[in-house]
Amino acid sequence: MNGLYDEFRVAVHSVWTRRWIVLAVAWGICILGWLAVASIPNRYDSRARLLVDANQILPDDGNGGPYAGGPQIDQIRETLTSARNLEKVALTTGLIGADAGERDKAGAVGMLQNSIKVVPQQQNIFEISSSVGIGSLSDADNAKLASGVLDSLITVFRDDQLRGGRMNARESLKFLESQIADREKALREVEARRGAFEAQNIGLIPGGSGSPAQRVEAARAELSQIDSQLVSAQAQLAAANGQLSSTPATVPVAGGVGGGVARQQLAGAQNELAAMRARGLTDAHPDVIALKSQIASLKAMADREGSGGGGGGMQNPAYASLAAMRAERQATVSALSSRKAQLTGDIAKITSQQIQNPGIAAEYDRINGEYTALKAQYDKLLSQREQVRLRGEVQTETDAIKIELLDPPTKPTSPAAPNRPLFLTLVLLAGIGGGIGAAFALSQVRTSYSTAAKLERASGLPVIGSITEVVTPDRHVERRKRLVWLGGGAAALVGLYALLLIAEFVQRGMVA
């Protein structure tokens, strides 16, 4: 332990004897280091938060253009710091002049791209920061430029989005107009070609819409329905025939009282008809029609009875009703049979034409298919044109993109980098440490021994004794002067460090 203490004392003594070297090296390192720190320009940061949202006045159908929904936010994120926008920012902030060359413009854009960062906080909220530290500008100018860059970027972006959205709507409308004109021209050509083909092959192409195969398929589907309806109608007709055959046509009545009964029934039926009309039933109502038919029959019977011709019996109303029902069902069966025969003939005719003229049918199908495809495209383009026109009107009246400044660009009052007080302190410590290290290294190089024990170990010979230094009064006074000079040099170094710190804080206060 005593050996370590002795070594420490020897090292301190060797450094102390070379204290002027320590001071000189410290001054040199500090001067060079502080000059290097002073050459580093201060960097000032400014931040802002921006809300960018799509103004969805119209519902989004997926065809709203390049600014729709999620893709719109992604594109905004990419185009916010595009080279075109940054070039405008460089011009408005004075980084480059209006007559700057392409090289100067590229350099300014590259500097802004490195200094501007866009960090998305949410889906449509962005934090924009700019870091400016140009050595040729003062700290106040750098601080002002940091916030000015964000102000200009937000203004340029807002104007570009407003103008770009309306320009996109006009370009889209112009493109759709040209496409509609082309489709309309092609559609007319196909219509003329189909008309000429039909006129040339009249009689070979059956009328109706759709291709022959489609018409055959539709006819077969209708024929299947008619077959089931015809079976049901024939069953109902058979049932009506059975009921009619078991119902008598007349009902016998007594000769003496028959006339009075017919007139009574006629009066009752007329009263019932009057009651029905009082309830608001019209002459087209089935009950009114049936009752009027019955009144007509009763009038005929009453007339016959009055003239003496009503001796045997009267017409059976049930038989008359069943006869009318049978006639209606016979008409239904006849109509269904006729339609079935017509459909069967149409199917046979179309099939025969396809067999006899397969090329004509195929060509007609091809022309119809081309016409259908063009017509669908034309209708779709018309719908898109109206939608784009409506969106263009909306963008003209309102902003398609809503840009709201949540937090305006901050005005920096102190540099974000470098931490100059810390760097100045580190340079001072490095200078002191470098001076001490240089003095200690120099003591190790020189062939002198601080103690008699070291000389004895190095030479291998015994050391009889050592003579201490004798300091005269004049020598002592001279040493005191040199010590004062050494302290003055060290104090001057520390004082220069303090002045640099004060100047740094004063400079920051001038920026604020």
Quick: pLDDT tens for 415-456.
Answer: 887 888 999 999 999 999 999 999 888 877 766 666 667 767
Which 3-state string (H, E, C) describes 436-447?
HHHHHHHHHHCC
Quick check: helix, strand or coil at residue 127? Answer: strand
Quickly list DSSP for 379-431: HHHHHHHHHHHHHHHHHHHS-SEEEEEEEPPP---S-SB--HHHHHHHHHHHH
Average pLDDT over the chain, rounded to whole?
77
Alpha-carbon gap, residue 3 to 143, rounded angstroms: 59
Q: What is the pLDDT of residue 76?
A: 65
Query: Which comes out higher in pLDDT, residue 495 or 378?
Result: 495
Residue 331 has pLDDT above 50, yes or no: yes
Residues 6 or more apart from 305 whose CB is under 8 A from it? 258, 259, 262, 263
Q: What is the pLDDT of residue 497?
A: 93
Closest of 450, 358, 355, 409 to residue 154, by C-alpha: 409
230-252 mean pLDDT = 77
Alpha-carbon gap, residue 134 to 153, rounded angstroms: 19
Alpha-carbon gap, residue 116 to 108, rounded angstroms: 12
Q: What is the pLDDT of residue 495?
A: 94
371-391 mean pLDDT = 82
Q: What is the pLDDT of residue 259?
A: 44
Closest of 387, 396, 401, 381 to residue 59, by C-alpha: 387
Query: Which comes out higher in pLDDT, residue 274 or 236?
Result: 236
322-334 mean pLDDT = 83
Residue 66 has pLDDT above 60, yes or no: no
Alpha-carbon gap, residue 61 to 226, rounded angstroms: 44
What are the tens digits of pLDDT across the range 83-124?
888 888 888 888 888 788 888 888 888 888 888 888 877 777
Cβ 83 vs Cβ 109: under 8 Å: yes
Cβ 84 vs Cβ 440: under 8 Å: no
Query: Phi, psi (5° rounding) for residue 130?
Result: -130, 140
For residue 342, the one-letter residue type is: Q
250-258 mean pLDDT = 52
Alpha-carbon gap, residue 19 to 214, rounded angstroms: 112
Alpha-carbon gap, residue 43 to 111, rounded angstroms: 13
Cross-strand partners of 125: 51
Q: What is the pLDDT of residue 61?
A: 46
Alpha-carbon gap, residue 196 to 137, rounded angstroms: 81
Q: What is the pLDDT of residue 44?
A: 87
Which of 27-31, 256-260, 335-339 ranks highest by mean pLDDT?
Answer: 27-31
Residue 81 has pLDDT above 50, yes or no: yes
Q: What is the pLDDT of residue 258?
A: 42
Question: Residue 508: pLDDT band by 50, 70, 90 thresholds?
Answer: confident
43-58 mean pLDDT = 74
Residue 174 has pLDDT above 70, yes or no: yes
What are the tens digits of pLDDT across the range 339-361?
888 888 888 877 776 666 666 66
